Amino acid sequence: MTRFIPPADFPNTRLRRNRRDEFSRRLVRENRLSTDDLIYPVFVREGEKVQEQVGSMPGVMRYSPDELMRVAEQCLELGIPVLSLFPSIDPSLKTPDGSEAANPSGLIPRVVGMLKQQFPELGVLTDVALDPYTSHGQDGILDNDGHILNEETVAMLIRQAQTQAQAGVDIVAPSDMMDGRIGSIRAALDKDQFIHTRTMAYSAKYASAFYGPFRDAVGSAANLGRSNKNTYQMDPANRNEALREVAADIREGADMVMVKPGLPYLDILRDVKDAFGMPTYAYQVSGEYAMIKAAAQNGWLDHDKVMMESLLAFKRAGGDGILTYFAIEAAKLMREQNC
C-alpha cells in the first residue's frame, strides 16, 4: 500500500523536474500496458470465407470459422494471450430455453476444437450465458410472467459450460449474473474431471446501456426489444454490492474476476483489486469502443492516443488485464513503438 509522503514546499520540491525529459519520465513511470494484458473478444458465425462488418463497431467483424483461424494466428504472432469467443447464430436455432448453447456440435464447441487443435498454445475463453441462443434475447430461462428463473437457468449454464469444457476450452466465463452459478459450474466441471478448466467470473456486471453494439453483433438486440436485464445485472448506482458479488464468486471458486463495463466503472475495479487481490480484469465493452471509434472517425479525437490512454487507465486502476476490441490494434502499436 502506498504511504503518502507530503512533498516539501516549493521551491525545494518541483514536481516538474522528473517530467522534464523523456528519460526521467520513463524512469518514474508507475504503470505500463503490455500485450500480455490483452484478451481479444471476437464474433463468430457460420459459413466460409465470411467477414461481416458489425455496423455499430467499426473495424469489428463477424468471422466464419476458417477466417477466425487467421485471426487466431495473428493473435499468437502478436503475443496476445487469449481469444474470447462470442457466437452470432442463425435465428432459427434460437429457442426460449437457449438449448443450442449446450449442443456439442454447435458453433462455439466446433470453433473451440479447431482453435485448440491448430493453435494449442493460444488461450481460448468462452462466454457462459444464454442470450445469443434465446429467442427473447435474455440471458436466462423465463417463467410465465417473464421473470428469469435462477436455478433453471443455472442448470442450462452448467450444460453449456460442460459442453465448452468437453470441446477443450481453457477458461469459461459466466456472464449471466445468476446467483450461485460459479459454484455450480465448478462442481460440475470437477465431477467430469475438468479440474484444469479455469473460471473467469463476470462478477460485477452492471445493467449497462454500453452493451448496445454487442447486442447488434450477436443478434440479440431485436429479440430483447424494449425489455432490460435489470433483474440480474447490477444497478449502476451500487458500489458495495459489487464487493458482495465478487466475494461470493471467490468463495464459489472463481479463478479470476471481472468488472464490466470498463471506463465508467474504474472505481469498482480499484475497489475489487484492493479488497481481494484477485486476478482482476476489466471489460472495455462494445459501446466504449464505438464511442472512441466514432469520435476518431470524425477527427475529433486522436485514435491511437485515446486507445492507449484508455487501456492504460485500466492498469492504473488495478486491472491485471483487459478484454478489449482494440487488442490487435494496441498490440501492433506497442510492437511498432518498442522497436
Contact between 211 and ligand PBG by CB under 6 A: the answer reads yes
Beta bridge partners of 260: 205
**In angstroms, what is the minimal distance from the CB of 291 to ligand PBG?**
12
Residue count at the site for ligand PBG (CB under 6 A)? 12
Strand partners, 59: none
Residue placing its CB nearer to ligand PBG in the complex, 214 or 314: 214
Residue 265, interface with ligand PBG (CB under 6 A)?
no
Asked if residue 61 binds ligand PBG (CB under 6 A), the reply is no
- Residue 211 or 281 with smaller CB distance to ligand PBG: 211
Interface with ligand PBG, residue 285, by CB under 6 A: yes
Choose the catalytic residue: 205, 229, 273, 315. Answer: 205
Nearer Cβ to ligand PBG (194/211): 211
Measure the CA angle with vertex 62, ends 60 and 64; round to 5°: 140
Whole-number Å distance between alpha carbons of 337 and 339: 6
307 CB-near residues (< 8 Å, 6+ apart): 292, 326, 329, 330, 333
Give the three cell numbers for residue 139.
Answer: 440471458
Catalytic residue among 94, 229, 260, 273: 260
Shortest spacing between CB 175 and ligand PBG, in angstroms: 4
CA dist., res. 332 & res. 14, Å (int): 36
Across the strands, what pairs with 198?
A: 171
Identify the helix (H) or strand (E) that includes residue 155.
Answer: helix 150-167
CA distance 322 to 169: 19
The minimum distance between CB 289 and ligand PBG, in angstroms, equals 7
Q: For residues 176 and 245, which CB has a smaller minimum distance to ligand PBG in the complex?
A: 176
What gap in Å lies between CA 18 and CA 251, rounded to an integer? 44
Our answer to whether residue 205 is catalytic in this structure is: yes
- Residue 213, classified by CB atoms within 10 Å of its CB into exposed (0-12), middle (13-18) or buried (19+), is buried
The answer to whether 286 contacts ligand PBG (rule: CB under 6 A) is: yes
- Told to check if 156 binds ligand PBG by CB under 6 A, we report no
Told to check if 206 binds ligand PBG by CB under 6 A, we report: no
Helix (H, G, I), strand (E, B) or coil at 198: strand
Containing H/E element for 63?
A: strand 61-63
CA–CA dist 257, 35 (Å, integer): 19
Site string for ligand PBG, 118-147 (x = CB under 6 A): ---------x-x-x-------x--------
Which of the ranges 145-153, 211-219, 291-299, 312-320 carries the binding residues for ligand PBG, by CB under 6 A? 211-219
Residue whose beta carbon is closest to ligand PBG: 214
Rule CB under 6 A: choose which of 153, 162, 164, 175 binds ligand PBG.
175
Task: Write out the residues near ligand PBG by the rule CB under 6 A.
Answer: 127, 129, 131, 139, 175-176, 211, 214-215, 229, 285-286
Catalytic residues: 205, 260
